[in-house]
């Protein structure tokens, strides 16, 4: 066992408790995204979220918060679901599995509460997040949202439009249960690929190269907006040795969906709760 893995095992994942722990989440949010104050989710929303059926789950090294996830309840087609608005891990602790462990704790708590669906948005240019969401957690993507939040003050966005993919995590689907509880990776026929070059992080961060990042975003936006309405979903993600990524699109063989004005799943009928 490496020292890093041993260290991460001493981290406890649990619900945040009390105002001081929620304040620590706000501070970590500021540290991770470096938002202007106007873009920060304030303490009071964390308090409200926790009180109305949402989740504030932290990763603690002793008493010190090293990561957290924040979700709030929503409604779609008469079904309650959770929208996970933020997942953050302090830089020094990244790539030790904490992000995944926090998501698994969110799932466990959500299932206990009777939820079937958790959603969140993520930037399609973030190769690491795409791998975590699709490959390690078993989320799928059927929706693309153009400039979802409008302009962002976070340097992570690199001044580009805030395009987002919507991750749907069907907590009790065969795909998710087989992956997380039996270690079986989902099988599907790859019909399309959408590529993201490894240089994307450097391009977003550099004034001189930002136009290249914008061109990748524009091309991928067009491809997603073309392919997703054809009934394709992003079901996998591959990375090569150089760090390039690619979304793998295919047809999902399960029919979990809640009807939504934002969701036209070309032929998929809304699913009754628990009928899958």
Contact flag: residue 195 with ligand COA (CB under 6 A): no
d(CA 202, CA 199): 5
DSSP-assigned letter for residue 84: E
Contact flag: residue 134 with ligand COA (CB under 6 A): no
Contact flag: residue 194 with ligand COA (CB under 6 A): no
Interacting residue with ligand COA among 29, 55, 106, 129 (CB under 6 A): 129
Contact flag: residue 95 with ligand COA (CB under 6 A): yes
| Number of residues lying near ligand COA (CB under 6 A) | 22
What would the two tokens of residue 80 be?
């309650």
- Considering the complex, what minimum distance in angstroms separates the CB of residue 255 from ligand COA? 27
- Whichever of 92 and 267 has its CB closer to ligand COA, that residue is 92
Contact flag: residue 80 with ligand COA (CB under 6 A): no
Contact flag: residue 247 with ligand COA (CB under 6 A): no
Query: Closest Cα to residue 198, out of 252, 265, 132, 128?
Result: 128
Residue ranges of the alpha helices (H) in the chain? 3-9, 19-33, 43-51, 98-113, 127-130, 174-182, 200-205, 210-227
- Whichever of 102 and 265 has its CB closer to ligand COA, that residue is 102
Interacting residue with ligand COA among 23, 30, 131, 174 (CB under 6 A): 131
- Whichever of 8 and 173 has its CB closer to ligand COA, that residue is 8
Helix, strand, coil percentages (3-state) for the chain, rounded to 5, are 35, 25, 35
d(CA 190, CA 176): 19
Backbone angles phi, psi at 240, to 5 degrees: -100, 180
The three-state secondary structure class of 178 is helix
Residue appearing with tokens 């009754």:
272
- Whichever of 94 and 255 has its CB closer to ligand COA, that residue is 94
What residues numbered 4-43 form the site for ligand COA, per CB under 6 A? 32
Please give the residue ranges that form the binding site for ligand COA (CB under 6 A): 32, 86-89, 94-100, 122, 126-129, 131-132, 136, 239, 243
């Amino acid at each position: 066992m490496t020292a890093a893995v041993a260290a991460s095992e001493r981290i406890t994942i649990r619900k945040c408790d009390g105002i001081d722990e929620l304040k620590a989440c706000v501070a970590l949010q500021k540290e991770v995204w470096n938002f202007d104050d106007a873009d920060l989710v304030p303490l009071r929303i964390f308090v409200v979220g926790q009180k109305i059926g949402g989740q504030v789950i932290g990763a603690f090294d002793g008493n010190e918060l090293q990561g957290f996830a924040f979700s709030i309840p929503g409604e779609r087609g008469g079904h309650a679901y959770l929208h996970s608005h933020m997942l953050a891990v302090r830089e020094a602790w990244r790539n030790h599995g904490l992000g995944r462990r926090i998501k698994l704790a969110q799932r466990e708590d959500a299932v206990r509460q009777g939820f079937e669906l958790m959603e969140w948005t993520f930037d399609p240019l973030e190769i690491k997040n795409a791998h975590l969401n699709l490959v390690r957690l078993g989320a799928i993507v059927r929706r693309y949202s153009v400039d979802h939040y409008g302009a962002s003050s976070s340097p992570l966005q690199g001044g580009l439009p805030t395009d987002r993919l919507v991750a749907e995590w069907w907590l009790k689907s065969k795909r998710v249960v087989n992956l997380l509880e039996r270690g079986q990776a989902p099988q599907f026929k790859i019909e399309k690929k959408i590529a993201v070059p490894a240089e994307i992080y450097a391009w977003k961060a550099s004034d001189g190269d930002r136009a290249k990042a914008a061109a990748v975003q524009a091309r991928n936006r067009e491809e997603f907006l073309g392919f997703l309405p054809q009934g394709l979903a992003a079901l996998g993600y591959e990375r090569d040795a150089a760090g390039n990524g690619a979304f793998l699109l295919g047809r999902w063989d399960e029919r979990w969906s809640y009807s939504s004005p934002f969701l036209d799943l070309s032929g998929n009928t809304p699913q009754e709760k628990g009928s899958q």
